[in-house]
Amino acid sequence: MTPFLAIVAGGLLLGAFLCLYRIGRGPTAPDRTVAIDILGTLVVGFCCVMAIWTGQDFYMNIAIAWALLSFIGTIALAKYLEGRQYNE
Amino acid sequence: MSDLAAEILIAVGLAFDLFGCIGLVRLPDVYNRVQAATKCVTLGTCLILAGTAVYGITGAMSIKAALCAVFLLLTSPVAAHAIARGAYKSGVRLWEGSVIDRYGEEVHPAGPPAERIEPAAQTEHTVAAGREPHE
Amino acid sequence: MKQVLCILFTFGLWLLLVAPWPVNAYWADVLVGLVVALLVATLLSHIYPDNPHKALQPRRIFWFLVYVPYFLFYCVQANLDVAYRVLHPDMPIRPGIVHVRTDLTSDMAKTFLANSITLTPGTLTVDILGQDLYIHWINVEGQGVEAHTAVIVKRFEKILRRVFE
């Protein structure tokens, strides 16, 4: 791993810890939902770092799948917050 | 040469990601947090993906990175909108420093639902007292 | 017509996703993609927009290509704005939810408008009711529906109308 990629990975890890702080601290359920959504997006960035480091392009498949699944999960959580109405 | 361009893109993207996460921690209520976090982290991660595409270790990696950036730009504002609406309907109030709330006046004029949660003052107090707030 | 475009779109996307293209080794992948595209077109085509052939008119494509850099410019400006507000020790924010109106009528145009508003300086779409949009604004300026509409909506409306309506 080149020093540059190590710095990027470290920075993303720092961001992930800030998200974890918000998940743990709350104070309301939507706050936690936002932090989970952002954590998912940071993981996509981390997949890019892994792809460049190893030169394997299947990491980008993981990134795409992760982005879409994280989106679906966030929508489901937001619908749940809206008052348990899944009929729209 | 393209390596340098890619590294600049990735570094700028990382900086925006970090700004977004700092905003997530510092800002006072959930709506402001959604704003800062969604905007900065979306553009930051898209820049990292663009950097990956420019690096172009294999052609397939570039195509997939570009596709992933498009997906992200399309999906993340929808997710932010859904969270903000869910938060409002589940009864999270605006920060007390807010100046105007036309949505509350015009769409929910009957006043707040029964289980309104005070985001700032009350819960900070309960956390300081060592208990998790009930939700 | 609609189903055919739906199949082409889904299958093209799939071909991009299985991108290393020495296809002789990957016939099974392409076949699976074709079957899934057919399934999606028959089961889910009602979700797709009603008249997709509009998207192939050169005039609309031209204005969409104008719209992309215009939007990206505001997106970068938004990020610098948010970064300034977050890093400033006093956090100069003045948040509130304002009410704006749009002239756009088609669902596609309103979706793009709402998404663009969410990614541009200090604004976040909270709800859309018909042609009324409720926007959370991190630094409220001015008073009244018209003033807010002029600042938030007008800059995208002009181009989006040419693309989608």
Instruction: Please give, one letter per residue, the 3-state secondary structure of B65-82.
Output: HHHHHHHHHHHHHHHHHH
Mean pLDDT of A39-51: 89
Q: What is the ipTM of this complex?
A: 0.83
* 8 Å CB contact between B115 and B91: yes
Chains with 3+ CB–CB pairs under 8 A to A are B, C
Three-class DSSP category at C99: strand
For residue B2, the model assigns a pLDDT of 72
**C-alpha distances in angstroms, C114 versus A29, B101, B109, C126?**
24, 19, 24, 9
Are C49 and C91 within one domain?
no
pLDDT digits (tens, 9 = 90+) for C110-157: 888 888 888 877 788 888 777 777 888 877 776 766 666 777 777 777
Residues in C closer than 8 angstroms to B28, CB to CB, are 91, 93
Flag if C86 and B80 touch (Cβ within 8 Å): no
pLDDT at B131 over 80: no
Range of the domain at C46: 2-53
Stronger pLDDT, C26 or A62, i.e. the higher one? A62
Domain total for chain A? 1
Among A7, A60, A82, beta carbon nearest to B89? A82
Range of the domain at A28: 3-81
Residues of chain C above pLDDT 90, percent: 0
Q: Cα C105 to the chain's mean position, in Å?
A: 15
Residues in C closer than 8 angstroms to A64, CB to CB, are 17
Query: Domain segments of chain B: what residues?
Result: 2-128
Domain total for chain C? 2
Are C73 and C153 within one domain?
yes
pLDDT digits (tens, 9 = 90+) for B90-119: 777 777 666 666 666 666 655 444 444 444
Are C76 and C23 within one domain?
no
Q: Of the ranges A16-30, B23-37, B84-98, C33-47, which one carries the lowest mean pLDDT score? A: B84-98
Mean pLDDT of B38-51: 88
The verdict on residue A86 lying in a domain is no
Q: Chain A interface, mutation test: which of C16, C17, C115, most A Cβ atoms within 10 Å? A: C17
Are C123 and C73 within one domain?
yes
